[in-house]
Amino acid sequence: MPDPSSQNLNEELNTAKQVLPENVGALTREQLTPGAATSPEGHDVPGHDHRGHHHPPGKRVVDLAGKPADRHAGHSHDPGELDFDEEDDHDHGPAGANPYLTPGISLALLLGGIVLDYYKPGFFTGYVRLAWYGVAYLLVGWKVIRSAVQSIPSGNVFNEFLLMSIATIGAFAIGEYAEGVAVMLFYTVGELFQDAAVNRAKRSIKALLEIQATEVGVLRGGQRLVLDPKEVVVGDVIEVKPGEKVALDGTLLSARGTFNTAALTGESVPQTKQQGEAVLAGMINQDTLSQITVTAGYQDTKLSKILALVQDAVGRKAKTQQFITKFARVYTPIVVGLAVLLTLLPYFFVQDYVFRDWLYRALVFLVISCPCALVISIPLGYFGGIGAASKVGVLFKGSNFLDVMREIDTVVMDKTGTLTKGVFAVQQVVAAPGQDPARFTALAAALEAKSTHPIAQAVVAYAKGSGTALAVDNVEEIAGHGLRGRVDGLDVLAGNTKLLNKFSVAYPAEVDQLVDSIVVVAVDGQYAGYLTVADELKEDAAPAVQELKAQGIGTVVMLSGDKDTIVQRVARQLGITEAHGGLLPEDKAAHVERLKAAGKRLAFVGDGVNDAPVVALADVGIAMGGLGSDATIETADVVIQTDHPSKIATARRIAGATHQVVWQNIWLAFAVKAVVLALGAGGLATMWEAVFADVGVALLAILNAVRIQRMKF
């Protein structure tokens, strides 16, 4: 069975996310859904078999199931070609068929046969018994045998398929039918577990593309037309209603507009744009109807480039062969060769040589050598680790990421939503001399209640309704400055320092040096004080950084789209020595590339859509699952469901414990098999010992793997 700890599963999960960079924005949702099976391009659904299908030379396509194309039985590709195909290595029947049905029938037959063997009814002998177990075996084993045969012409002879086939057929040859069926059944169930993980990742392309707007209002010839964004050309004027996504990059034609930019920059504060300023696809219009002059085509938007960067980063993840395949290339020919020698060589040294006796020994030798215990012990250890992680709110999307998580030496984190709560709150109230803080806060809150801006809402929440009874009228919103109005009979200004300058209100010079976002308040033309508004640190952010350093993580970096002054202050508070602010997604990717080029093994932790490219590029991409965007969660390898950054260190502890248990299982399997193989070669081991060497070790491995679930993390 392909080892779930191998990097190949990483490739399977991640290739499921690939589309070609040049095709980002060009692929339609229909091409990524089951309905595409009927299209001329032949995009498949599970069960749709296209063996023999050949793609035109030079056409590079992608396998949505993540399987390397050359593993398709009887399906040949040119070197480097990938297959845009939703089926996996195995045919599970028609679309919608239950993949567990066939193994379930095989298991029922196996258990029934064992019961019949125990009670020994008269009819259950000879050909009836063979046919009973033969059906159970073929239900789960014929695909493995087919793969073993079809891999021979390519020169890939000694693989796990051949060893599984020889060992189980050998078990049948000496009458141990139940053992042969059980081994093949374990293999098939393991394959289904892997398929389930891969299928879960197939939705990620659609999740990413859902970020892009599917339609846009275009003003042409005095009419408003609703078009597909791909039909809009540079120079067109588009109209974006409040709450709608901006579909294309452009410049603001309206006097002003407020946009949520988190999808692109990670900046948690919505930006107010003035006429002529750039507006990017992926932003969300916050308040008024906005008109935008298009400056870039659909495939050239900043958002499309982000999506392309995700695909490119995923595609560059390293491929490593499966552990069990590497092992089988050495182990299988040695075992098969020894079995042949064990059968024939005694002819030259033993006086009363009996071929059947030595053939029996060789077949027992082969059954003992079957890698069933290894096939079970490796994934069970990892499944135990994944289960233990899920109990504490950490989801590993593939067991291989447990290994990589243990090996990382660098952690790179986003700020907003990762180390901070992503919710604005008033941090400090500073009143001017002679002013009552509670009074000017109530006045400001009464005025800010007329605005929907997040900072205004933070002030209102802080005042806890103290200004609701105050009469408010003549409210005027001054774009890019703040609010002006009469509150309880007083002229009140609430906004930034530009607002006070506009109305010639003097204020202390040190106010201009403040790092946080501020709301400055003036009452009847006199400076009254200010409130600082900031995103709060998560309670466990500082302990998370300290614990990572204690675990030997030599480099902790913070990257953010927020203002660099705020980023540097947060870094100092958390004890992070390297931090960079004001970054776009490509800037974050460049920093990660720099660290990887320096030989760092790194994890990136983020939550926004803008983090998706870097999450994909990192050796381990970690997403915050509570506040995180769907695209980042789908792209990530590990999801922290509780949004606690301290769980990064917890995930590493679980990874270390899992690694230890898995290798205990591996060495146990090797040690026991080595002893029993020697006994089998000497004729001292029967099938009872063979069963212990295989099933017994597997049971011990199960008990050891269960131990992970009981550990405290």
The answer to whether the CB of 279 falls within 8 A of the CB of 261 is no
| Residue 219, strand partner residues | 224, 237
Q: Which two tokens stand for residue 566?
A: 């705020």
State the Cα–Cα distance between residues 689 and 677, nearest whole angstrom: 9
C-beta pairs of 344-349 under 8 Å, 24+ apart in sequence: none
State the Cα–Cα distance between residues 503 and 499, nearest whole angstrom: 7
State the Cα–Cα distance between residues 41 and 37, nearest whole angstrom: 8
State the Cα–Cα distance between residues 282 and 304, nearest whole angstrom: 9
The burial class, CB within 10 Å (0-12 / 13-18 / 19+), for 72 is: buried
Amino acid, single-letter form, for residue 3: D
Select from 238, 277, 250, 245 the least CA-distant residue to 261.
Answer: 245
Name every residue whose Cβ is closer than 8 Å to that of residue 276 and which is 6 or more positions away in sequence.
251, 252
CA dihedral 298, 304, 305, 307 (to 10 degrees): -160
Radius of gyration of the chain (CA): 32
Name every residue whose Cβ is closer than 8 Å to that of residue 284 and which is 6 or more positions away in sequence.
243, 244, 245, 246, 259, 260, 263
SS (H, E, C) 475-544: EEEECCCEEEEEECCEEEEEECHHHHHHCCCCCCHHHHHCCCEEEEEEECCEEEEEEEEEEEECCCHHHH
| Residue 188, strand partner residues | none
Name every residue whose Cβ is closer than 8 Å to that of residue 606 and which is 6 or more positions away in sequence.
266, 413, 414, 417, 418, 612, 614, 615, 621, 622, 623, 624, 628, 632
The answer to whether the CB of 566 falls within 8 A of the CB of 534 is yes
The answer to whether the CB of 284 falls within 8 A of the CB of 244 is yes
Select from 637, 687, 645 the least CA-distant residue to 317.
Answer: 637
Q: Is 312 a catalytic residue?
A: no
**Residue that is written with structure tokens 């696809």 in the block:** 281
The strands making up 410-414's β-sheet, listed across from edge to edge, are: 394-396, 638-640, 620-624, 602-606, 410-414, 555-559, 578-580
**Residue that is written with structure tokens 């659909």 in the block:** 298
φ, ψ at 445 (rounded to 5°):
-65, -40
Among the options 83, 249, 414, 619, which is catalytic?
A: 414
Select from 199, 141, 194, 166 the least CA-distant residue to 3.
Answer: 194
List active site positions.
Answer: 414
